[in-house]
Structure 1
Amino acid sequence: MLSQIYSAITQNLDAIVTRDTKGFVSSPIPVYAVQELLEKL
């Protein structure tokens, strides 16, 4: 998961959207489950 976090940071993304949030516990940027993001929209 570190490569996805690194990619998100280098691309200046605001968050990561994934079906498996467990792998991103230590992410320095917000991580949302797909359903969680849809509820925020």
Structure 2
Amino acid sequence: IAIIVIALAIIVSSAVAQDYSQLFAGFGPYVRAASPMRDPRSNR
């Protein structure tokens, strides 16, 4: 059961990360400055 939960968490987190990268690209440098981990994902 733990393996299924971990796999689900990875899938959901990757999907949410992609959604957030597009959302943050619209929000601008303010959010990117708050979370530098998303810089390599959205290089604009």
Q: Compare CA radii of gyration and give the structure with the larger one.
A: 2
Shorter-chain TM range is 0.3 to 0.5
Which structure: greater strand fraction?
Answer: 1
| TM-score, normalised relative to structure 2 | 0.34
Higher RCO, 1 vs 2 (CA within 8 Å, ≥6 residues apart): 1
TM-score, length-scaled by structure 1? 0.35
Q: Which has the higher helix share?
A: 2
